């Protein structure tokens, strides 16, 4: 799956952690993520990390196959987000990853605060929240 990740997701993995795509996916798998699969193999992995009893952070990595499964992904991700029983849900995303920004806005997330820096000091990350 690593070699088929969207270029934006490969860049986000590198900028946030310094890891290569294969290492980044390994970390995602260890976080007990959900995997979207079709007859050609996996095309998306997503999950959440519980920060506190009231807050969880969501994340998602997708292959270039996401374009073929966009409507299914939107239905499933909406159901999944609504199933999370937290007062607040947040997400940090690479400022260059416009697809993630559109998805977060569609899912009723709002961008807050000043940009963050993670591994790469040249790349801004934005925090989005739902439930505030």
pTM: 0.88
pLDDT value of position 132? 64
Q: Which residues contact 113 (CB under 8 A, 6 or more apart)?
A: 127
Q: How confident is the model at residue 71 (pLDDT cuts 50, 70, 90)?
A: confident
Average pLDDT of span 23-36: 82
* Short-list 42, 16, 32, CA closest to 116: 16
In the chain, what are the domains?
A: 2-130 (3.40.630.30)
Strand segments, DSSP code E, in the chain are 34-38, 41-52, 55-62, 88-94, 110-116, 125-130
pLDDT value of position 107? 94
Average pLDDT of span 61-77: 86
* Short-list 44, 46, 82, 49, CA closest to 62: 44
d(CA 59, CA 96): 16
């Amino acid at each position: 799956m690593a070699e088929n990740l969207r270029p934006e997701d490969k860049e986000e993995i590198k900028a946030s952690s310094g890891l290569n795509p294969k290492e980044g996916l390994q970390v995602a798998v260890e976080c007990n993520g959900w995997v979207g699969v079709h007859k050609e193999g996996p095309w998306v992995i997503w999950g959440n990390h519980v920060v506190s009893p009231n807050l969880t952070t969501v994340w998602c990595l997708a292959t270039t196959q996401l374009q073929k499964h966009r409507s299914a992904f939107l239905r499933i991700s909406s159901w999944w987000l609504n199933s999370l029983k937290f007062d607040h849900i947040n997400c940090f995303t690479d400022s260059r990853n416009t697809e993630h920004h559109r998805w977060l806005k569609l899912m009723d997330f709002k961008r807050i605060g000043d940009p963050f820096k993670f591994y790469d000091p040249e790349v801004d990350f934005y925090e989005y929240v739902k439930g505030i």
